[in-house]
Amino acid sequence: MKLREVAVIGFGVTKFGELWDKSFRQLIAEAGAKAIFDAGISGKEINALYVGSMSAGRFIGQEHVGALVADCAGFSQMHIPAVRVESACASGGLAIRQGFMSVASGMSDIVVVGGVEKMTDVVGNEATNTLATASDQEWEAFFGATFPGLYAMIATRHMHEYGTTREQLAQVAVKNHANGALNPNAQFQREITLENVLNATMVSYPLSILDCSPVSDGAAAVILCAADKAKKYTDKPVKIIGSGQASDSLALHGRKDICTLEATVHAAKMAYKQAGIQPKDIDLAEVHDCFTIAEILAIEDLGFVKKGEGGKAIDKKITTLNGEIPINTSGGLKAKGHPVGATGVAQIAEIVAQLQGEAGKRQVKDAKIGLTHNIGGSGASCLIHILEAM
């Protein structure tokens, strides 16, 4: 099948955090506007809009999000197609893939892809309940399994099978906070220590509150364009050279191996094949560290290290900013924040910034090929994109 090449020609990200003053509508409008200005396009050139939002219905009682976002972006009179997609915490990544397919197929020349979540308009408990809808409501959540509980069970098994330790998990959080401290948009811009993580309040053993990503508000947007037209808008376009998506059983107990997210493995295979590269060709990656254990699984399942060696990799510091394969230079979900629907799109923004040489204090030297990895729930869906500087 002949597909057009697709490039990112601009991006915009809001601050992530507890943004009491900003509404859902304001956040997505802000991110969208930033992306459009960054790309230097006029609104009239946008052929379609894609937006990822996990649960506006439960967080702000609002559905019909595609139309809403087009409206608050100021596009209501342009009457363009506006699509809201949902794949739990991978909603943003899914929106990217939908936008990518729209341009690659030739149906659109330029699309705006956004991701947004406003999680603090509800009380903490309700936010937790809503996040839990990413798990199996009938057979996991109903019986008292929480979202952190599911990942904690993955951690317990990983510790049992591979000897991974709480200290190795904690180091993921420490590294990501160190990176986040260099990211002006990150929710947390302060470093933490290993002791902080190990002694923090236990959420679900072995994960403490500092092993878990926070509840956040925020939005991100990117502009996708046919690659052969990209240089018209920017002299630093970044091509999406691979896109992968995969699904797996909704419940953790339905997986073939509790310590492997097959959705990651299959989505990665798809993306690597399309890009014509191997894991070792990746220079840096933004992975889905909703919990510290998730980052350990990710670097294994993406093929950066062998299964079971994720903990050792952290010890050897190969995933730090100066390591062989920097992971989560943005601070990851842990330090940057995790406004669910926005995350997948913000990951693209970070890789683009890195490949354009615009990552400031977080810049990775000679970054040419980057990967984004976005997971839904406890691994029932996965979206992966590979980008290369043009």
Partner 1 sequence: MVDSAVPRFWREIPQRYNLLGNQCGVCNKIYFPPTESCPICRRKSMDKMKDFKLSGKGEVVTYTITHVAPEHFEGQAPYPIAIIQLDEGPRITAQIVDCDINDVKIGMKVQSTFRKIQEDGWLGAIYYGYKFKPVK
Per DSSP, 211 falls in state G
Nearer to partner 1, 157 or 229 (CB): 157
Region label for 266, one of left (φ > 0), alpha (ψ between -120 and 50) or beta (otherwise): alpha
The distance of closest approach from Cβ of residue 122 to partner 1 in the complex, given in angstroms and rounded to an integer, is: 12
The distance of closest approach from Cβ of residue 210 to partner 1 in the complex, given in angstroms and rounded to an integer, is: 13
| Cα separation, 383 vs 201, whole angstroms | 32
> Could you tell me which residues come within 8 angstroms of residue 327 by beta carbon, excluding any fewer than 6 positions away?
175, 284, 285, 286, 287, 295, 298, 299, 319
Binding pattern to partner 1, positions 318-357, x when CB under 8 A? ----------------------------------------
Total number of residues that touch partner 1 (CB under 8 A):
36
| Cα separation, 211 vs 331, whole angstroms | 13
> Could you tell me which residues come within 8 angstroms of residue 207 by beta carbon, excluding any fewer than 6 positions away?
148, 151, 152, 155, 169, 291, 292, 293
Rg of the chain over Cα atoms, rounded to whole angstroms, equals: 19
The residue range among 138-146, 223-231, 236-244, 348-356 that interacts with partner 1, by the rule CB under 8 A, is: 138-146
Nearer to partner 1, 198 or 318 (CB): 198
Query: Residue 361's CB: how many other CB atoms inside 10 A?
Result: 11
Nearer to partner 1, 5 or 121 (CB): 121
Per DSSP, 194 falls in state H
Q: Please report whether residue 203 would count as binding partner 1 according to CB under 8 A.
A: yes
Determine which residue in the list 202, 306, 317, 361 makes contact with partner 1, applying CB under 8 A.
Answer: 202
Tokens of 159: 């510790």
The yes-or-no answer on residue 79 being catalytic is no
The residue from 158, 266, 338, 373 that is catalytic is 338
The distance of closest approach from Cβ of residue 314 to partner 1 in the complex, given in angstroms and rounded to an integer, is: 21
Within 239-268, the residues that bind partner 1 by CB under 8 A are 251-254, 258
The distance of closest approach from Cβ of residue 253 to partner 1 in the complex, given in angstroms and rounded to an integer, is: 4
Binding pattern to partner 1, positions 93-132, x when CB under 8 A? --------------------------------x--xx--x
- Residue 40 CA neighbour count, 13 Å, CB half: 10
Binding pattern to partner 1, positions 145-184, x when CB under 8 A? xx-xx--xxxxxx--x------------------------
The residue range among 2-10, 24-32, 195-203, 367-375 that interacts with partner 1, by the rule CB under 8 A, is: 195-203
The distance of closest approach from Cβ of residue 219 to partner 1 in the complex, given in angstroms and rounded to an integer, is: 27
Supply angle C-alpha 210, 216, 222, rounded to 5: 120
- Contact by Cβ (8 Å): 73, 136: no
The distance of closest approach from Cβ of residue 198 to partner 1 in the complex, given in angstroms and rounded to an integer, is: 15
The residue range among 31-39, 83-91, 134-142, 351-359 that interacts with partner 1, by the rule CB under 8 A, is: 134-142
Binding pattern to partner 1, positions 295-324, x when CB under 8 A? ------------------------------
Q: Give 214-275 as a DSSP string.
A: ---EEEEEEEEEEHHHHTTT-SS-EEEEEEEEEE--SSGGGSS-TT--HHHHHHHHHHHHHH
The yes-or-no answer on residue 89 being catalytic is yes
Tokens of 323: 């390591």
E strand segments, 327-380 = 369-376
| Cα separation, 326 vs 303, whole angstroms | 14
Tokens 């990211």 correspond to what residue?
Answer: 183
Nearer to partner 1, 73 or 173 (CB): 173
Q: Please report whether residue 61 would count as binding partner 1 according to CB under 8 A.
A: no
Task: Please give the residue ranges that form the binding site for partner 1 (CB under 8 A).
Answer: 125, 128-129, 132, 136-146, 148-149, 152-157, 160, 201-207, 251-254, 258
Question: Which residue numbers are catalytic?
Answer: 89, 338
